Amino acid sequence: MNHPPRSTRRHDAPPPSHGTRLGDRARNRSRELAVRVRLAAAGMGRATRALLTGAGLPITKEYLVLGCGTGEDASGLFSEVAAVVGGLEHYEKWRGIYAGMRVDFKDHGLYHEPAIGDNWWEYYFESIALGSATGAATRQVPARQHDAFAYRVEQDLPRARASAMVARYVRVKPFLLERVERFWQETFPQGRVVGVHYRGTDKSEDAPAVPYDTVSAAIRAALRDEDADRCRLFIATDEQAFLDHARAAFPGQVHALSMPRSADGRPVHKGGGGGFAGGADAVVDCLLLARCHRLIRTTSDLGLCSTFFNPTLPVTLVEGD
């Protein structure tokens, strides 16, 4: 998902007066909004809070609830992870004006399965519920701001900052960590591993398609810097044809998870290959890429997020023309 940036500024305004003067309630609301503008500009330290409280100005903090995309706006798992990371960064930056933040991917999205639980974020990650909603004004993050959070991460959030958000707040469920460890120990007990993430299918709607041979050339260049005979490749991809291409180009060196992949150009997560199992496969792919010694990737939120789990991972980004 690479949507154009959208403004996250709230255009709150006092309700219109039904007479020549604002009533007490509307007047207080106007004062409160003026306070929020000042706090958003400068943050709220203890001294500022004490000053405003002493002046009799009401201060109401907001408690943010971040949901996932719904309907036609439903996104892949790591597009949603990007929105969470962007939301956490926003929350930390403006913590003075927020009472807290909760991630609640409830009853919507491509991975939701009612039998497993309401909040599908918690299928794969530990709950994120920061601060307290007590006495705060709960606000559901609107779609435009949700997308802006993800866009910030995809386009210009420094990798070190994104990695810090992940390290502080994003905890992968133990069963997925165990699956990653088991695959790694069984497949790569020793030697160097080059990770390759190729995102195909509908990604061409957001970024130019990358020819398979272009990725193969990048892999060969990486192998020249490694012990090529001992180095192996871990391939994460949504296209079966790319995996077949890699196995033919690098016989005996390619390893990949066993999972559903697209054979007809339609994205798996939007064509019945999503749900709980599809999301689990995506998380394991991401974490395995993060364990590699270097990464070659095309434009994708999954590949990008793998670098947040390993902020020192050397990365080669391969892009189409």
78: amino acid identity, one letter: F
pLDDT exceeds 50 at position 12: no
Q: How far apart are CA 118 and CA 175, in angstroms?
A: 19
Over range 38-42, report the average pLDDT.
41
- Mean predicted lDDT score pLDDT of the chain: 83
Sign of CA dihedral 80, 82, 88, 93: negative
129 strand-pairing partners: 102
- Weakest mean pLDDT among 156-165, 234-243, 266-275, 281-290: 266-275
pLDDT exceeds 90 at position 42: no
Over range 253-268, report the average pLDDT.
83
pLDDT exceeds 70 at position 46: no
Who has greater pLDDT, 22 or 90?
Answer: 90
Give me the phi and psi of 238, to 5 degrees please. -95, -5
Percent helix, strand, coil in the chain, to 5, is 45, 15, 40
Look at residue 38 in the predicted model and tell me its pLDDT: 40
Burial category of 156 from C-beta neighbours within 10 Å (exposed 0-12, middle 13-18, buried 19 and up)? exposed
Look at residue 37 in the predicted model and tell me its pLDDT: 42
Q: How far apart are CA 287 and CA 172, in angstroms?
A: 10
Q: How far apart are CA 292 and CA 234, in angstroms?
A: 8
Q: How far apart are CA 122 and CA 49, in angstroms?
A: 35
Domain coordinates in residue numbering, the chain:
24-169, 174-317
16: amino acid identity, one letter: P
For residue 28, what pLDDT band results from cuts at 50, 70 and 90?
Answer: very low
- pTM given for the model: 0.80
- Topology at the third CATH level for domain 174-317: Rossmann fold (3.40.50)
Look at residue 202 in the predicted model and tell me its pLDDT: 62
Q: What is the pLDDT of residues 163-187, one digit of tens each?
A: 999 999 999 999 999 999 999 999 9
For residue 251, what pLDDT band results from cuts at 50, 70 and 90?
Answer: very high
Q: What is the dihedral of CA 200, 203, 209, 212, to 10 degrees?
A: -10
- Weakest mean pLDDT among 110-124, 187-201, 234-248, 256-270: 256-270
Q: Which two tokens stand for residue 16?
A: 């219109």
Distance of CA 179 to the CA centre of its chain: 21
Highest-scoring range by mean pLDDT, 75-79, 91-95, 121-125:
121-125
Over range 82-89, report the average pLDDT.
98
* Cβ pair 206, 2 in contact under 8 A: yes
Strand, coil or helix: what is 261? coil
Look at residue 94 in the predicted model and tell me its pLDDT: 92
pLDDT exceeds 90 at position 71: no
pLDDT exceeds 90 at position 305: yes
Contacts of 277 (CB under 8 A, 6+ apart): none
Look at residue 226 in the predicted model and tell me its pLDDT: 81
E runs forming strands in the chain: 62-66, 98-103, 129-131, 137-140, 193-198, 232-237, 254-255, 294-297, 315-317
For residue 266, what pLDDT band results from cuts at 50, 70 and 90?
Answer: confident
pLDDT exceeds 60 at position 6: no
Q: What is the pLDDT of residues 138-162, one digit of tens each?
A: 999 999 999 999 999 999 999 999 9
Looking at the chain, the number of H-run helices and the number of E-run strands are: 11, 9
Look at residue 49 in the predicted model and tell me its pLDDT: 52
- Weakest mean pLDDT among 22-31, 121-130, 162-171, 284-293: 22-31
- Helices 143-155 and 77-93, axial angle in degrees (round to 10): 90
